A and B are shown apart, each in its own frame.
Chain A
Amino acid sequence: MRVARGEGDGEGRYETHVVPQTYRSTVLDGLLHIQRHLDRTLAFRYACRAAMCGTCGVRVNGVERLACSTHLSAVPGGDVTVEPLRYLPVIRDLMVDFEPFFDAWRAVKPTFMPGAAACADGSPAGFATIGPDVRERQVIDRHRECISCGICYSACDVVGLAPSFPGPAAITRSFCLIMDSRDGGREARLEVLDREGGCWRCHTHGTCSELCPKGLDPTVAIEEVKRLLARRTLQKAFGGPR
């Protein structure tokens, strides 16, 4: 395994280690072997080891993957190069600072804002529910299991070209709330996404959807937001129901 090393803005380097490999060995197993037996100073993050927490996102041979769910045997070729995610400042080795990712996340107003339909009688017991068979719920379900791993952010070439672009994960989160009829922040969110550097910067490369470890489809979510904005503009221009 060839692992990227380095601290902050300092000069980076690669270190090569030979790690044992079984049929089920993952990239994370390799990193743990290096840390425990070969070089204790190697820094990387992990937690659940089950592709649920989104902590161990790295680039494996240039492709963004969760280290815990990438088998060494699945990577083409015998050499595996592991690098930190792109567009996020490196703290050390494979650890990156997620601040830019969560800045973008905060910018699209990611928290629920109760609207008129949120509480039927103003009490928590009267909280409106959306059943699993309702179309609104089905649309949201397709996009809602994001684990904030940052893989789509690193995979998105537009994030690299236009740092003001919030990235696929943030727009997908915003889309889930926009589609929620109980939420009262729909207009505010659409305003943010309609700005320069908002969802219109997406070039529909589809890399985020290709690489999302949870099988979500951020490209489709972004297109849905674009359609909502286009419809909203037409309605503003020609009148009609919002």
Chain B
Amino acid sequence: MHRLRPDRRVMAYAELWPTHPRWGIGAWWAQRITGVLLVVYLIWHVVTIAGAPRHPERFAALLRFLRHPVLFTALLAALAYHSANGVRLVLFDLGIDAMRGRTMFWACLVLTALLVAAGLWRGVLRGL
């Protein structure tokens, strides 16, 4: 027999005010913005590496630029969020929706934070 899941029962009958009801549009915008940023970075990265043998000084300048802590953290955060949210969307597309969408989104943000922390830890160990 079909039954509403407990969290849905709360939404349906307890007349509570929904917290963050529009998290989805935020997640969507963040996915688009980080996607565009990563594409721009990827093109820049490929062009710079392709020209590295002819312009080693440009390549060295890129490495120095990327070692800036703020830029490194921002790039890492964009990459981590885009990946984690992408996995969330693929799981949802495949019908794996064991948790409510909002819960999945918060799990995705926690995963993003963990990935950024792990990346920063590695970066610090390597003498960022």
Contact = CB atoms under 8 A, between A and B. Distances in A.
* A and B co-occur in one complex: yes
Interface of A: 26, 63, 69-71, 74-76, 132-133, 137-138, 141-142, 155, 157, 203-207, 209-215, 217, 219-220, 223-224, 226-227
Contacts of A213: 12
30 contacts: A63-B21, A71-B15, A74-B16, A137-B2, A138-B1, A138-B2, A142-B2, A155-B22, A157-B25, A203-B24, A203-B28, A204-B28, A205-B24, A205-B25, A206-B24, A207-B21, A207-B24, A207-B25, A210-B22, A210-B23, A210-B24, A210-B101, A210-B102, A215-B8, A215-B12, A215-B13, A217-B8, A223-B92, A223-B93, A223-B97
Q: Which of the four size classes fits the interface of chain B? A: 20 to 34
Contacts of B95: 223-224, 227
Contacts of A214: 12
A74 B24 contact: no
Contact of B101 (A69, A206, A215): A206
B127 interface: no
Contacts of A74: 15-17
A26 B23 CA distance: 25
A114 B27 CA distance: 41
Interface in B73-128: 89, 92-93, 95, 97, 100-102
B1 A133 contact: yes
Contacts of B102: 206, 210
A215 B92 CA distance: 18
> Can you list the 7 inter-chain pairs with the closest CB atoms, starting with the nearest?
A205-B24, A215-B12, A141-B2, A215-B8, A206-B101, A206-B24, A210-B21
B64 interface: no
A214 B8 CA distance: 8
A76 B8 contact: no
B16 A205 contact: no
B11 interface: yes
A137 B2 CA distance: 9
B21 A215 contact: no
A138 B4 CA distance: 11
B53 interface: no
B8 A210 contact: no
A215 B4 contact: yes
Among B9, B21, B23, max chain A CB count under 10 A is at: B21
B1 A132 contact: yes
Contacts of A205: 22, 24-25, 27-28
Contacts of A69: 15
Nearest to B95: A227
Contacts of A155: 21-22
Contacts of A226: 93
Contacts of A137: 2
- Of B22, B23, B28, most buried by chain A (CB within 10 Å of CB) is B22
A203 to B, nearest CB: 5
Nearest to B16: A74
A136 B23 CA distance: 31
B118 to A, nearest CB: 27
B60 to A, nearest CB: 42
A217 B8 CA distance: 9
Interface in B1-52: 1-2, 4, 8-9, 11-13, 15-18, 21-25, 27-28
Nearest to B8: A215
A209 B16 CA distance: 15
